[in-house]
C-alpha cells in the first residue's frame, strides 16, 4: 500500500493529510480506510462497498424503498468495516474531523500550504 503522507506531496494524485487519516476532497476531510487492514481484507471490503453502492443506484432507479434501505445499510456496514465511518481507527484519542472543511480544522495551516497560500 502506498504511504498516504507521500501522496500529499504529489499534486496530481489524491491529497492526504500528513498523518494519513484523511483524504481531502473539494476542501473537505474524509476519513481514510484503516491502514491496519491487510490488502486482501481491504480489497474484499472495497468490493463489498462498490457492490452495495450499485445496489443503492438500482434501488433508486426502481423506486423500491425496502431495497434502498437494505442497500444503504450495506454501504454503511462496508464503510464501517473499512474504518471510514463508525469508531475511529486511530488510538490517540484525537477527535474525528470527517466532513470538516480542511481550512476550519487543525489541518488548516498544512492545507493552506498545499493550496499554495
Residue 113 CA: distances (Å) to CA of 27, 48, 89? 13, 36, 27
At 40-60, the pLDDT tens digits run: 999 999 999 999 999 999 999
Task: Name, in order, each residue with C-beta under 8 angstroms of 33's C-beta and a sequence gap of 6 or more.
Answer: 42, 45, 82, 83, 84
At 11-27, the pLDDT tens digits run: 568 899 999 999 999 99
Strand ranges inside 3-114, DSSP E: 15-16, 22-25, 28-31
Angle ∠(76,62,84) on CA atoms, nearest 5: 15
> pTM of the entire structure?
0.80
Amino acid at each position: 500500500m502506498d504511504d498516504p503522507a507521500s501522496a500529499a506531496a504529489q499534486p496530481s494524485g489524491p491529497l492526504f493529510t500528513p498523518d494519513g487519516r484523511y483524504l481531502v476532497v473539494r476542501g473537505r476531510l474524509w476519513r481514510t480506510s484503516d491502514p491496519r487492514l491487510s490488502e486482501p481484507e481491504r480489497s474484499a471490503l472495497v468490493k463489498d462497498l462498490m457492490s452495495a453502492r450499485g445496489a443503492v443506484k438500482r434501488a433508486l432507479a426502481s423506486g423500491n424503498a425496502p431495497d434502498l434501505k437494505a442497500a444503504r445499510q450495506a454501504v454503511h456496514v462496508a464503510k464501517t468495516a473499512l474504518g471510514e465511518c463508525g469508531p475511529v481507527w486511530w488510538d490517540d484519542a484525537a477527535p474525528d474531523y470527517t466532513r470538516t472543511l480542511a481550512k476550519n480544522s487543525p489541518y488548516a495551516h498544512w492545507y493552506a500550504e498545499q493550496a499554495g497560500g
